[in-house]
Amino acid sequence: MKRVLPVWVRPRAVLVAGIGAAVLALLPFFHSNRYWHNQITETMLAVVAALAWNWLGGYLGQVSFGHAAMFGLGGFVAARFQASLGLPMIPAWIVAGIVAGLYALVWGHPTLRLRGPYFSIATIGVGEATRLICTYWVWLTGGSSGMSLPVQIQLKYQLYWYALALALLALAASYALRRSPLGLSLLAIKSDVDAAGDVGVSSVRLQDLVLFISGMTMGICGGFYASYYSFIEPGDMFGFSRSISFVLMGVIGGIGTIAGPAVGALIYVLLRNALLASYPQLYLGLYGLLLILVILFEPLGLTGLFLRVFHRKRPDLGVTGVAAEDSAAPATGVTPAPAEQRGAK
Amino acid sequence: MTAILRAEGLSKRFGGLKANDNVTLALEERQILGLIGPNGAGKTTCFSMLAGSIPPSAGRVFLGEQEITGLPAFRVARAGVVRTHQIVRPFANLTLMENCTVAAAQCSGRDDAGSRELAREMLQFVGLEKRRNEYPGGLTLAGRKKLEMARALSCSPKALLLDEVIAGVNPVEARDMVTLIRRIRDEKGISILMIEHVMAAVMSLCEHVVVLDAGKLIAAGAPKEIVQNPAVVEAYLGKKHA
């Protein structure tokens, strides 16, 4: 029998994703609650961003605190191309993605040779520098008062399905980047960059590739965000708290796992909206607390918790990307228990 | 016989220290060549230069007719020279199978399915196939050394550089390892250059031995001659024993 899918794809994963996608795609026809419709759209966008962050932060173990730079740049490039050059929405997103991906390469190619905490510190600088430059770059961003796109109520409703499509693509990419031999090479680089080189892994090229894909996806998310909200301003788009939000989603859901960050994004968005409504001053503090608790007690986040509960029955869930004696531990504070990974023998 | 791997006048300086000084050696086809010498003689440095982990300060390295001097490690590995590490360096976050699949996918030029097949074959070859879905953290030292070898073999190398794969394992495992190394040469036809301190293994495996001391090549020949060579005895035991 000829294979349609690569050997590393499990039919069950395709089935689960297919059912999930079908349910979400048909859901809006069964309810007319605009609040939940928007919530789900926002969540799916967060899912895409969280997964894109995880390709770099989780798979390669290079934790970025500056991913808002690509998000913001993508948003403003997409908005500017639509507003000033009259480019349609989708091509504008693509341009935004390419620009953001290239921008990521510009700062990332030199900084990715730093490892662990040093890389993370560099990304903080990159994020803040980008925010300042773009705040004063009035032609592109409209300065600190931001810029607007024409509001289209119908489009905002339809963007739900665009977000769903993007989320599915991002999930598929996450799966491929973890399971394919190429993806395994990324994990090998994370574990030991020199030993990876000794078995033929070109770390520089692969790191650049992942950085480009991650930055490009971030840029597309930014473009989507601009179309969705019709108004964007640099302080929000490039804000440090936005960069942190990507880290939080990844860590809460399970850094380095395939679908963990997607769950993390769901929790993050729901929690944020609940907390923002009732305790606007508290919510960042609560996230800090949550972050500390996760890193202390369950370094693999919700995925780790899930594995701990169901591990005995189902030893391989295809998400155990981060294992014992992880060399990236200093970067993330993640030191999972070895016993969790090897399971019942 | 033609040389698979050839080093000509290889030197490495670390500041004022000459770790390797004008080392010339040739690994013939289907040969097991021993590289011995006292601690600090520069054996691992020599390996690192051959495998592209560090660039030489002077000298040239050839793989067959092709010059591979100064190429980055991943290119050298893809060209066909693969090393193992004295202190084992498995990818702890990957299963044994995945460890080997990475190597196969990057070096062997096979597709995804082919790479997995090759990885599995190599795990079977070293005797780790049953544990292929476990993580390296659960293996003994000997197991991890075998994993290093399986991973290196998954690259389909022409020349395999083994850095002290026998030292540190118990006598039973050591005998196992000797058999395994011989099988790599006999069954896979791969030429082997090995650094080893366990002389019994060197005596039984190697047809030819080269000796390094303080970065310089001081002797070369059959193992039996080497152990009686005064310069070698002096390097190991000091002048009065020579």
HSE-CB of B98 using CA atoms within 13 angstroms = 28
Q: Rounded distance, CA A323 to CA A334, Å? A: 10
Structure confidence at residue A74 (pLDDT): 95
Percent of chain B with pLDDT over 70: 99
pTM: predicted TM-score of the whole model, two decimal places: 0.85
Q: Rounded distance, CA A96 to CA A102, Å? A: 10
Helix (H/G/I), strand (E/B), else coil: B19: strand
> What's the one-letter identity of residue A82?
Q
Write out the two tokens for A226.
Answer: 């601009």
pLDDT (tens place) for every residue of chain A, 345 residues total? 456 777 788 888 888 888 988 889 888 888 888 888 988 999 999 999 999 999 999 899 899 999 999 999 999 999 999 988 889 999 999 999 999 999 999 999 999 988 888 999 999 999 999 999 999 998 888 888 889 888 888 888 889 999 999 999 999 999 988 888 888 999 999 999 999 999 999 989 999 999 999 999 999 999 999 999 989 999 889 988 899 899 989 998 888 888 889 999 998 888 888 887 777 777 778 878 888 888 888 778 888 888 877 765 343 333 444 333 333 333 333 333 343 333 333
Classify domain B1-80+160-242 at the CATH class level.
alpha beta
Residue of A198, A291, A227, A244 lying closest to A78 (CA atoms): A227
Nearest-by-Cβ selection for A321 from B78, B89, B93 = B93
Residue B146 CB partners (closer than 8 Å, separation 6+):
B126, B127, B128, B177, B180
- A187 contacts A84 by C-beta, under 8 angstroms: no
Q: Rounded distance, CA B155 to CA B160, Å? A: 10
Interface membership of B98 toward A (CB under 8 Å) = yes
Write out the two tokens for A217.
Answer: 């996806």
> What's the one-letter identity of residue B70?
G
Q: Rounded distance, CA A43 to CA A265, Å? A: 7
Q: Please report, for residues A149, A296, B154, B156, the alpha-carbon distance to residue B103 in angstroms, rounded to integers and kept in the order given.
A: 50, 34, 6, 9
The residue in chain B having the minimum alpha-carbon distance to the alpha carbon of residue A201 is B74
- Per-residue model confidence as pLDDT tens digits over B30-84: 899 999 988 888 899 999 999 998 999 999 999 988 899 989 999 999 999 999 9
Domain boundaries, given as residue ranges, for chain A = 11-252
Q: Which residues pair with B27 in a beta bridge?
A: B5
- Strand-by-strand arrangement of the B17-28 sheet: B17-28, B3-14, B58-63, B66-67
Structure confidence at residue A212 (pLDDT): 95
The residue in chain A having the minimum alpha-carbon distance to the alpha carbon of residue B110 is A181
Which residue stretches of chain B have pLDDT < 70?
1, 242
HSE-CB of A97 using CA atoms within 13 angstroms = 16
- B7 contacts B43 by C-beta, under 8 angstroms: no
Q: Using beta carbons and an 8 Å cutoff, which residues of A are at the interface with B?
A: 3, 6-8, 180-182, 184-185, 187-188, 190-192, 194-203, 256, 316, 321-327, 338, 341-342, 345
- CB A185 to CB B93 under 8 A? no
Residue A34 CB partners (closer than 8 Å, separation 6+):
none
Q: Rounded distance, CA B118 to CA A200, Å? A: 15
Residues of chain A neighbouring B49 (CB-CB closer than 8 A) = none
HSE-CB of A182 using CA atoms within 13 angstroms = 13
DSSP β-ladder status, B66-67 and B58-63: antiparallel
Helix (H/G/I), strand (E/B), else coil: B192: strand
Q: What is the CA angle A184-A186-A189, rounded to 5?
A: 115
- CB B137 to CB A181 under 8 A? no
> What's the one-letter identity of residue B172?
V
CATH 3.40.50.300 location in chain B: 1-80+160-242
Residue B90 CB partners (closer than 8 Å, separation 6+):
A191, A195, B99, B136, B139, B144, B147, B148, B151
Write out the two tokens for A263.
Answer: 């769950």
* Shortest Cα–Cα distance, B85 to chain A (Å): 8
Helix (H/G/I), strand (E/B), else coil: B211: strand
Structure confidence at residue B122 (pLDDT): 93
Residue of A279, A250, A52 lying closest to A170 (CA atoms): A52
Helix (H/G/I), strand (E/B), else coil: A155: helix
Percent of chain B with pLDDT over 90: 48
Helices vs strands, H then E, count in chain B: 9, 10
The residue in chain A having the minimum alpha-carbon distance to the alpha carbon of residue B83 is A198
Q: Rounded distance, CA A135 to CA A238, Å? A: 9
- Strand-by-strand arrangement of the B191-195 sheet: B81-83, B159-163, B191-195, B32-36, B208-213, B216-221
- CB A203 to CB B137 under 8 A? no
Residue with tokens 């196939």: B129
